[in-house]
Amino acid sequence: METNLIMEIDLPLTGYVIPVFFMLLGTACGTDSDHYSMDDYPSVPKMDVHVHMETDRPLFVEKAESDGFRLINVALEYTEGWNDVYRKFSYGQQQENAHPETVVNVTAFAVSDWDSPDWEEKVIHWLDSCFDQGALGVKVWKNIGMVSQDTAGNLIQIDDARFDRIFDHIRQRGKTLMGHLAEPKNCWLPLEEMTTNNDRNYYGNHPEYHMYLQPEMPSHEELIERRDNMLGKHPDLKFVGAHMGSLEYDVDELGRTLDRFPNMAVDLAARMGQVFYQTAEDREKVREFFIRYQDRLLYATDLSDNGSRTEEALHAAMDAAWKRDWEFFVSDNEMESDLINEPFQGLHLPKEVVDKVFYKNAIHWFGMEE
């Protein structure tokens, strides 16, 4: 004869049967206290450490707050030298002043006046003014090594001795250097040989940055070597390699670099396609990488708002990226993404790893207050 679950437990009814029953019921229903679920997404503290807000409207921040995100807004020198730096940092400061519990900033400097005799003094004065306003760090961009030249026509490289005083000052002020140096390795391949669709789209639309079309430019290996030369000269400088440190193509190679430079971490901004691609090839290797280097990986997207999209379009883009990535890290679901052509499975990382990647590592690597 069939008996119910409670009657099969040979314990006194008072004080034991009901707790044990619910314990077993929870196990039967698949409750997993060591892992998050999709339902946990809005309530778990999270941080996107690499976004670009170039507007004073609050739509990006409001969406972040409703989804449980804090934001690090990042300035950079793009194509207009110091004007880019001033404008982008100013927008970030407006957002931080309006939303101090949600937004913090990373500033930048320009090399457009590299040969000016007072360039170092100008940079240090500017950085100090930003630090005094609360900036947590400084971004250097791929124009160094790939675009910007001195007056003699030579590319400015990140291991140039002229940067040493700047990087020493950043370290002395207790701030972090964020570096987008080099590009994905796909950048040196023809479009049809690239491993991710997002890279094909980007370099198809931005041939000026497609190094395969410019064989006279430095190789990926040279740019990484120069970055590593710089880190070797400044071992005490806290460094966050943007976009997986441009070693997104191979978690093993990235792991070796992290082993070599203990003061280096990386963010994941705009490189989830490469993570998905490697996961489709060898999920366990990627999962083991995230667990082993759980203290050195920071969640980021490179999402942006310049005021041109509607609220619906902006929030849809944020939702698509943030919820896709949350599902990838917390579940073992079979997934697909337009970033790659192959299906892949979520990593189902433990809570403690997810908490570090999505929040705690940002606190540490950028010296933030909780």
Q: What is the pLDDT of residue 32?
A: 78
Q: What is the pLDDT of residues 37-88, one digit of tens each?
A: 999 999 999 999 999 999 999 999 999 999 999 999 999 999 999 999 999 9
The average pLDDT across 196-202 equals: 97
Q: Side chain identity at 62, as an amino acid letter?
A: E
Q: Is residue 214 scored above 50 in pLDDT? A: yes
Structure tokens at 2: 């069939």
- 259-270 pLDDT, tens digit per residue, is 999 999 999 999
Both tokens assigned to 228: 């590593």
96 vs 101: CA distance, rounded Å:
8
* Percent with pLDDT over 70 in the chain: 92
Amino acid (one-letter) located at 103: V
Cβ neighbours, 10 Å, residue 54: 18
pLDDT at 362 over 70: yes
pTM, whole model, 2 decimals? Answer: 0.91
Neighbouring-strand partners of residue 46: 69
pLDDT of residue 280: 98
Residue 50: φ, ψ to 5°: -150, 85
Q: What is the DSSP string of 298-351?
A: E-----EE-S-S-HHHHHHHHHHHHHHHHHHHH---EE--TTSSS-EE-----H
Whole-angstrom CA distances from 17 to 2, 11, 14, 20, 111 are 18, 7, 7, 5, 71
What pLDDT is stored for residue 343 in this prediction?
98
For residues 218-225, give the mean pLDDT: 98
Condensed to tens digits (0 to 9), the pLDDT of residues 300-309 reads 999 999 999 9
Q: How confident is the model at residue 369 (pLDDT cuts 50, 70, 90)?
A: confident
Over residues 17-36, the pLDDT tens digits come to 444 444 444 444 445 799 99
Strand partners, 305: 53
346-350: long-range contacts (C-beta < 8 A, 24 or more apart)? 347/279, 347/283, 347/286, 347/287, 347/290, 348/35, 348/287, 349/35, 349/287, 349/290, 349/291, 350/34, 350/35, 350/291
DSSP-assigned letters across all residues of 232-263? HH-TTSEEEEHHHHT-TT-HHHHHHHHHH-TT
Based on its alpha-carbon atoms, the radius of gyration of the chain, rounded to whole angstroms, reads 23
Question: Average pLDDT over the chain, rounded to whole?
Answer: 93
At residue 329, the pLDDT reads: 98
Cα separation, 9 vs 49, whole angstroms = 51
What local confidence, expressed as pLDDT, does residue 152 receive? 97
Question: What is the predicted pLDDT for the residue at 31?
Answer: 55
pLDDT digits (tens, 9 = 90+) for 142-191: 999 999 999 999 999 999 999 999 999 999 999 999 999 999 999 999 99
Pick from 111, 229, 131, 132: nearest CA to 175: 131
Q: Which amino acid is at 367?
A: G
Those residues with Cβ within 8 angstroms of residue 154's Cβ, 6 or more apart along the chain or in another chain: none
